[in-house]
Structure 1
Amino acid sequence: MLTRIGGLLRQAESTDNAHEADAFMAAAQRLATAASVDLAMARAHTGARERRAGPVQRLVTIGEVGKKGLRTYAQLFLAIAAANDVQCDITATSTVIFAYGFAEDIDVCEALYSSLLVQMVRASDAYLRSGTYRSESTVRTVVERRGGREVRTRVRKPIAPVTARLNFQSAFAARIGARLAETKQETEKEAVSASPGTDLVLRGKALELRDFYRSTSQARGSWRGNRAPSARSTDAQRAGDRAGRAARLGTAPELPSSPRRLEE
């Protein structure tokens, strides 16, 4: 399955036509979803005495502690995972994600992430070089001490490059997640229409994953990285959304079958 997906991603990389690239991306997600449905059907018909594959937990390293920008990297992986039946926990530092799901679904998530991460970083770098975000400004609160008292003043300041980058990448990740989720829903709907009982199998798969997650996860609290940046750049958000719409999949000639470390 990953070999076939890799072929689609290479085709997406070789075209300069955004519509063709989008078609190849959708085809890759449809293939991944169809394969996931087929495997779920196979597991549902596995006899009680036969060995049956179940959900697994896998650690995905997003980056080293202290590296800037990990929040939006993690947001991208979480968006991909949500569209491919993978549930996640994440460390407070956004350095490691604990992925829970069937092995083939996690493989797809890692493959898509490896391709899209490079594109997101390159697209945001190109956007920053364009300098269009400099036309915007944001209101900030400045605290000064006067006569032994703290005085808070609201001042308007230019958008900082780091703010523009975070807004761009956050919008990019959100758009990618929406595109993949839409394709997945369409593919599952077609599968249910073509084969009676598929909806029950998919529901059973979801329940099996839920039970596995509840019995395995040791997560506490909530991740703060999914909150919108305190300072916003509308221009950066729009540019990131456009880049997410036009993103192509695949940056390497072949997709690894099960990478443990995802390079930026």
Structure 2
Amino acid sequence: MLTRIGGLLRQAESTDNPHEADAFLAAAQRLATAASVDLAVARAHTAGRERRATPVQRLIAIGEAGRKGLRTYAQLFLAIAAANDVQCDITTTSTVIYAYGFASDIDVCEALYSSLLVQMVRASDAYLRSGTYKEETTVRTVVETRGGRRVRTRVRRPVAAVTARLNFQSAFAARIGRRLAEAKQDAEQEAAAAAPGTALVLRDKQIELRDFYRSTSEARGSWRGPGVGVGHSSDARRAGDRAGRQARLGTAPELPTPARRLPR
């Protein structure tokens, strides 16, 4: 109803014919009276709907400096962003992500991240409690001093809990990224089949975002991903991938709104 009334007001204000303007205004007033809607509210509603969206920059707080596991949390957000037309810069400490995109796309990313982060942490905690990672060993390099010389030897040691957790969460995030990318591709193909001009609209959107990113971003260097300095656990990666396949991609009921910062 707000849209209908606002449309009539817009027609009344855009015509040069005073008789037409009076007719449109009267029609708008009749509808507004019947629906108990203020004309100013309807006018503001229409102006908001017709305002052209432009890309924005938003800061996403991943966690406090020094907290372990931030790289896998950041990897999860980056995977979600890549499937939702949002470009990102990230601090070297993985504590903050600078998201560049349209506000509605960033909102989707934050809502998905809030839900999937909870699922990822819960699933990895459950995996660690199962203890199956303890049955696996990994090769490590040990440095020893022998006869005044430093000697490096490769030994097999049990997989540490922190190694299992990081491998699990990294595989989870990677699987989520692939699922979202596939869903995006399917949605775009369906939209293009229904409306032939969709591909051109999406291309224009990508160009606008790219230009905005280039003119706004001050990033230098490259981010060190979650695999830096982390041992390998095949069992944990397989378990994380399975959990990523089973994760819900909707917003979790316990988190109805996007969370900007992780709880302590």
What is the TM-score normalised by the length of structure 1? 0.77
Which SS does the other structure have where 1:141 is aligned?
Answer: strand
Which SS does the other structure have where 1:179 is aligned?
Answer: helix
How many residue pairs end up in the alignment? 214
Match of 1:81 in 2: 81
Whether the 8 Å contact between 1:166 and 1:229 is mirrored in structure 2 is: no
Q: Distance in 1 between matches of 2:194 and 2:251?
A: 30
Whether the 8 Å contact between 1:172 and 1:244 is mirrored in structure 2 is: yes
Which SS does the other structure have where 1:54 is aligned?
Answer: coil
Whether the 8 Å contact between 1:79 and 1:176 is mirrored in structure 2 is: yes
* Distance change (3 Å), C-alpha of 1:229 and 1:184: farther
Which SS does the other structure have where 2:207 is aligned?
Answer: helix
Which SS does the other structure have where 1:212 is aligned?
Answer: helix
Q: Percent identity?
A: 76
Task: Write out the 4+ residue segments of structure 1 that deviate beyond 4 Å after TM superposition.
Answer: none
Deviation at 1:151, TM superposition (A): 1.1
Match of 1:236 in 2: 236
Q: Does 1:219 align with 2:245?
A: no
Deviation at 1:227, TM superposition (A): 3.7
Q: Distance in 1 between matches of 2:176 and 2:233?
A: 19
Read off the aligned partner of 1:57 and give its amino acid letter: Q
Q: Distance in 1 between matches of 2:74 and 2:230?
A: 18
> Residue deviations 1:216-255, cap 9 Å, x none?
0000000012446641111000000000000124333563
Greater relative contact order, per chain length (Cα 8 Å cut-off, separation 6+): 1
> Residue deviations 1:139-178, cap 9 Å, x none?
1111111222111111110000000000000000011111
Whether the 8 Å contact between 1:60 and 1:98 is mirrored in structure 2 is: yes
Q: Distance in 1 between matches of 2:251 and 2:263?
A: 14
Matches within 5 A, 1:17-166: 51-166=51-166
Read off the aligned partner of 2:235 and give its amino acid letter: D
Whether the 8 Å contact between 2:115 and 2:255 is mirrored in structure 1 is: no
Q: Does 1:177 align with 2:177?
A: yes
Whether the 8 Å contact between 1:70 and 1:94 is mirrored in structure 2 is: yes
Which SS does the other structure have where 1:252 is aligned?
Answer: coil
* Distance change (3 Å), C-alpha of 1:164 and 1:82: same
Whether the 8 Å contact between 2:55 and 2:103 is mirrored in structure 1 is: yes
Match of 2:247 in 1: 247
Q: Distance in 1 between matches of 2:138 and 2:255?
A: 43
Range 189-198 or range 143-152, more displaced: 143-152
Whether the 8 Å contact between 1:142 and 1:155 is mirrored in structure 2 is: yes
Match of 1:206 in 2: 206
Q: Distance in 2 between matches of 1:178 and 1:76?
A: 11
Q: Distance in 2 between matches of 1:139 and 1:196?
A: 54
Q: Distance in 2 between matches of 1:116 and 1:138?
A: 29
Deviation at 1:192, TM superposition (A): 0.6
Which SS does the other structure have where 2:225 is aligned?
Answer: helix
Match of 1:34 in 2: none
Which SS does the other structure have where 1:218 is aligned?
Answer: coil
Match of 2:195 in 1: 195
* Distance change (3 Å), C-alpha of 1:200 and 1:150: same
Match of 2:9 in 1: none
Whether the 8 Å contact between 2:91 and 2:223 is mirrored in structure 1 is: yes
Larger Rg: 2
Whether the 8 Å contact between 1:168 and 1:236 is mirrored in structure 2 is: yes
Q: Distance in 2 between matches of 1:113 and 1:156?
A: 36
Read off the aligned partner of 2:252 and give its amino acid letter: T
* Distance change (3 Å), C-alpha of 1:229 and 1:149: closer
Unaligned runs of 5+ in 1: 1-49
Q: Distance in 2 between matches of 1:162 and 1:65?
A: 18
